[in-house]
Amino acid sequence: MRTAVFIPVGLVSGYTFISTQPGIRNSHLLARQQPGGNLPGGAASCPFNPNHVPAVPVNAEFNYNGAISGLPGRGTGGYQVPAPNDTAHQFIAPTDQDIRGPCPGLNALANHGFLARDGVTEYAELVDAVQNVYNMGYDLANFLAVFSIYIADGDWVTTKLSIGCDATTRTSYSPVLTGSQPGLDGHNKFEADASLTRNDYFTHEGENFLLNTTLWAQMTESTGGLYDFAGLTNYRYDRYIQSREENSEFFFGPLGLFQYGAASFVYELMPNGNEGYVPNLENTASFFGAQQDSDGTWSSVPERIPGNWTNRVVPYTLIDVVTQIFLMYGAHPVGIGGNADGEFIGLDFSPYIQGGNLTAVTPEAVACFLYQFVSVPIPSTFNSIITPTVEVLQAVLVAIGGEAFTNLGCPLPVT
Ligand code: HEM
Ligand SMILES: *[C@@H]1O[C@H](CO)[C@@H](O)[C@H](O)[C@H]1NC(C)=O
Ligand SMILES: *[C@@H]1O[C@H](CO)[C@@H](O)[C@H](O)[C@H]1NC(C)=O
Ligand SMILES: *[C@@H]1O[C@H](CO)[C@@H](O)[C@H](O)[C@H]1NC(C)=O
Ligand SMILES: *[C@@H]1O[C@H](CO)[C@@H](O)[C@H](O)[C@H]1NC(C)=O
């Protein structure tokens, strides 16, 4: 995967299982519209740093999980991050040349130089950083990195990815051949509706990536400042209802399931061992970049790893996250699909989703569904350029985490 030689083309056409369903519009699935103007997240307004400085990797003195070069680290956490005296990874607020985006976990990594501080990262840097800092399991780190870079928002050849807006001139190996690479701000590619603290793309003219302090306050009030499974399960449901009512272009397809996974990161990856791993207000606010002012209102500041922060002890793996997705969705089942002409249309993706209901009956089945979902665009990605051999397709499916998923009992997707 790291030496891919394939040329990416529009991926959206791969999702025929969605686009051919009645009532589902192309606008739900089309790559982010970028008329070249100053739309938020577009190339014109994207910060530009001519001097890209990669993140400083771990070394013998400051070793963290020993994760380097995109390979698995030790997976043994419970240590302080950043390490005392590790000056390369101290907090520095981003400048107006630095890109930040919809993921608080990655924004915090960039603000601490575990990702390149300009917000343009690449495969190995990303997979290393989430292992070394948050003790994310290698299987999950690889899955998220491959999905975000290769399937959704980045470049196959350079493996580069913008953690926010469209930085194609810096991520793409050939902008003419690849077309625009939207970065993590790209809508309905990875970023999706009904986020915890980010606006929907459609209701806010494309501004889907900044911390919205009103939503943060809503999340804090709803959970009582304890952002645990119970609190976030209810709040996630509230956000789903809110978006479905307010957003005529609301789309909560397979990516909707990722939203539950992201919510679990709040109580699984962010809590501080020095505070008994309780996902409390002060700690969580620091990661989200929310600061309470003396009058009680909230303002936005750069995301920061809290002082004296100790990461989780055991890795957070793929099966762990799909288990949380399964449980959180199951506690408050909602329709999977989208609004079209004032009506909610449920999707079918048998046997996992039927009539807009998630019908997967185990966490493993949820994992297999996600594996199928991310694999669907692959044949169409190649077909218009080359006719892939079975061996090539198998190699890609394996890189996406084939072993991790087949270990969970998932069949290799039919291509
Ligand atoms: C390779 C690693 C990762 C990638 C590619 C990634 C990507 C993303 C993207 C695209 C979103 C936006 C989803 C949306 O709201 O529509 C997101 C949200 C989120 N991510 Fe990450 N992420 C990664 C790792 C992490 C880590 C390590 C953490 C926590 C420590 C984290 C915490 C979150 C949270 C809490 C949200 C939800 C924000 C909100 O809805 O307001 N992520 N991530
Ligand atoms: C940090 O550096 C100071 C001064 O050089 C030293 O006294 C201290 O032992 C170091 N701490 C750690 C944890 O390495
Ligand atoms: C923040 O979210 C609220 C609730 O969805 C919305 O009304 C408001 O317009 C958003 N604010 C900004 C600045 O986007
Ligand atoms: C950091 O956490 C440890 C363990 O709970 C505690 O003993 C120490 O006082 C804390 N240090 C600071 C500066 O808060
Ligand atoms: C899901 O299943 C229920 C019956 O359990 C049905 O009423 C509903 O229409 C289905 N679809 C959606 C999108 O909720």
Q: What is the pLDDT of residues 110-150, one digit of tens each?
A: 999 999 999 999 999 999 999 999 999 999 999 999 888 87
What is 37-407's CATH topology?
Chloroperoxidase (1.10.489)
The ligand 3 atom nearest the CA atom of 207: 14
| Cα 367 to Cα 264: distance, rounded to the nearest angstrom | 15
Q: Which residues contact 323 (CB under 8 A, 6 or more apart)?
A: 363
Residue 340, pLDDT score: 85
Give the residue, by CA position, lying nearest to ligand 4 atom 14: 308
Ligand nearest to the CA of 298: 3
Closest residue to atom 7 of ligand 2, CA basis: 85
Distance of alpha carbon 14 from alpha carbon 16, whole angstroms? 6
pLDDT of residue 24: 57
pLDDT over 90 (residue 208): yes
pLDDT tens digit string along 35-53?
A: 345 789 999 999 999 999 9
Neighbour-count burial for 220-249, b at 16+ CB within 10 Å, e otherwise: bebbeeebebebbbebbbebbeebbeebeb
| Residue 398 scores a pLDDT above 90 | no
- Ligand 2 atom nearest residue 85's Cα: 1
Residue 78 CA, ligand 4 centroid: distance in Å: 14
Q: Residue with structure tokens 């665009």?
A: 377
Ligand 2: residues whose CB is within 6 Å?
84-85
The per-residue pLDDT of the chain, averaged, comes to: 87
pTM reported for the whole predicted model = 0.92
- Which ligand 2 atom is at minimum distance from the Cα of 84? 13
Structural domain spans, the chain: 37-407
Instruction: Using most ligand atoms within 8 A of CB, pick from 61, 85, 89 the residue to mutate for ligand 2.
Output: 85
Could you tell me if the CB of 357 is within 6 A of ligand 5? yes
pLDDT at position 401: 63
127 lines ligand 1 (CB under 6 A): no
Name, of 23-32, 367-376, 397-406, the range with top average pLDDT: 367-376
Q: Decide: helix, strand or coil at residue 232.
A: helix
